[in-house]
Amino acid sequence: MPPVESVGTKPPGPGRGAAPVAGAVPPVSAAELMQIVRLLPDVLFKCHKGPDGKIYWSLNEGGLAEEFHLTTQEIKGKSLEQLFPEGASQAIKEHFEAAFQGSTEEFVNELGGRYFKHLPQPVFGPDGRVESVVGFISEVTALVQAEKDLARANRELESFAYTVSHDLRTPLTVVSSLAQVLQRQAGRLDERGQDAVRRVGEAARRMAEMIADLLEFSRAGRRELHLEQVDLTAMAHEVEEALRLRHADRDVRFEAEPGMLVRADPRLMRIVVENLLGNAWKYTADRQVAHISIGTTTRDGARRVVVRDDGIGFDEDEADRLFEAFRRLSSAERFEGTGIGLSTVARIVERHGGQVGAEGRRGEGAAFWFTLAPEASA
């Protein structure tokens, strides 16, 4: 044990050196502090560089240090390389060397199937150089395990959702096609029979949409964000092309502002663009010639991406409810849809730190906008 120096609270300024003031806090000795540290289940440490440039510990105390026989006394004079098995020491060394360069980045290392989180703090000397590194180590095995389990469960759910949605579509296609065959031969059916067949077809179609939308909605919430620069203009034109393929009979005049770049997850951003443009396409179906655009504008200091159309619009007082899941508007009753698309959009935009909104009037078109986190509006 190094020589013990007294630390603790001293009586305030003017009374210094005088008799202790009544009620003054008694000082805590280094020995008492050490006693407290040893009560911790975790580890508090301090390490320094030896004359040979290697890392040595001058303090390593706490429950974990005792369990691994790595207490200050037990590791005295041993360098990092001597203490840890070869594979582990290299990774640990890199992190500690970084801390000696001033890094405070936390890291997790594995030892014997258990995981330990290190929170290093460099201590700077008067010359501004790192004299030592102090820090805190705690076991995070349960957390790491839970994260692994969660990641696996997510992967399983993802593949389950895909399989279910894909495999459900096949029998659904058969139901839907055969209902349409019967509808085609409606002359052979009485009125009730025709109605029944029509309802079968309708139900199959709604179910198909729900499967697709639910799959997308669940993905939008779970998928890890991979941010990169996204060319929104090019993406909009790709989606436009896909929509034109699906609605070959429509006359839609589409414009996309050139050079729109954002920082976002490209796959999720694609879902946003598909939904907003898809809606614009859908709700202009009544128009002989429809006009749809995507562009940017600045409002309240934030850059907004806006999709406009000259379709059926919506009542202003319905604007707030547009982004709620499974909610459809009275003005949209004639149009097919599950009401999940815009909530998927909202979910994705919110995960990017942005906001969504809509402006419109019944019969006068709609404008749907979103922002991304300020740093994302590259």
Question: Which sign does the torsion angle of CA 31, 35, 36, 37 carry?
Answer: positive
Q: Looking at this protein, which amino acid is placed at residue 22? A: A
Q: Least separation, in Å, of the C-beta of 102 and other proteins?
A: 45
Q: Which is nearer to other proteins, 129 or 206 (CB)?
A: 206
Cα(323)–Cα(339) distance, integer angstroms: 9
Taking the complex as a whole, the smallest distance from the CB of residue 339 to other proteins amounts, in Å, to 19
Residue 206 or 222: which CB sits closer to other proteins? 206
CB closer to other proteins, 88 vs 178: 178
For residues 124 and 162, which CB has a smaller minimum distance to other proteins in the complex?
162
Going residue by residue from 262 to 301, which x/- string records binding to other proteins, judged by CB under 8 A? ----------------------------------------
Among the listed residues 143, 153, 181, 225, the single contact to other proteins using CB under 8 A: 181
Q: Which residues contact 47 (CB under 8 A, 6 or more apart)?
A: 55, 56, 57, 58, 59, 60, 80, 96, 132, 133
37 with 22: CB under 8 angstroms? no
Q: Which of 104, 159, 177, 297 binds other proteins (CB under 8 A)?
A: 177
Pick the closer one to other proteins by CB: 173 or 229.
173
Per CB under 8 A, the list member of 37, 99, 133, 204 interacting with other proteins is 204
**Binding-residue total with other proteins (CB under 8 A):** 27
Pairing of strands 290-299, 252-256: parallel
Burial 61-89 (b: 16+ CB within 10 A, else e): bbbbbeebebbbeebeeebbeebbeeeeb
Please select the residue that binds other proteins; options are 71, 72, 132, 176, rule is CB under 8 A.
176
Q: What is the smallest separation between the CB atom of 247 and other proteins, expressed in angstroms? A: 9
Length of the chain: 378
162 makes contact with other proteins (CB under 8 A)? yes
- The residue (of 134 and 212) whose beta carbon lies closer to other proteins is 212
Window 57-96: contact mask with other proteins (x via CB under 8 A): ----------------------------------------
Q: Which residues contact 43 (CB under 8 A, 6 or more apart)?
A: 60, 61, 62, 63, 64, 65, 136, 137, 138
Among 119, 212, 227, 373, binds other proteins (CB under 8 A): 212
Kindly state whether residue 169 participates in binding other proteins, applying the rule CB under 8 A: yes
CB of 163 to other proteins, least distance (A): 10
* Residues whose CB falls within 8 Å of the CB of residue 280, separated by 6 or more in sequence, listed in order: 290, 292, 307, 308, 309, 311, 366, 368
Nearer to other proteins by C-beta: 175 or 325?
175
Instruction: Fill in the per-residue mask, 213 to 252: x = in contact with other proteins (CB under 8 A), - = not in contact.
Output: -------------------------x--xx--xx-xx---
Q: What is the rounded radius of gyration, in angstroms, for the C-alpha atoms of the chain?
A: 32
| Measured CA angle at 285 (ends 359, 252), to 5 deg | 90
The answer to whether residue 340 forms part of the interface with other proteins (CB under 8 A) is: no
- Decide whether 82 or 177 has the Cβ nearer to other proteins: 177
Given 73, 104, 145, 185, the residue binding other proteins (CB under 8 A): 185
Minimum CB separation of residue 276 from other proteins in Å reads 16
List residues near other proteins by CB under 8 A. Answer: 162, 166, 169-178, 180-181, 184-185, 204-205, 208, 212, 238, 241-242, 245-246, 248-249
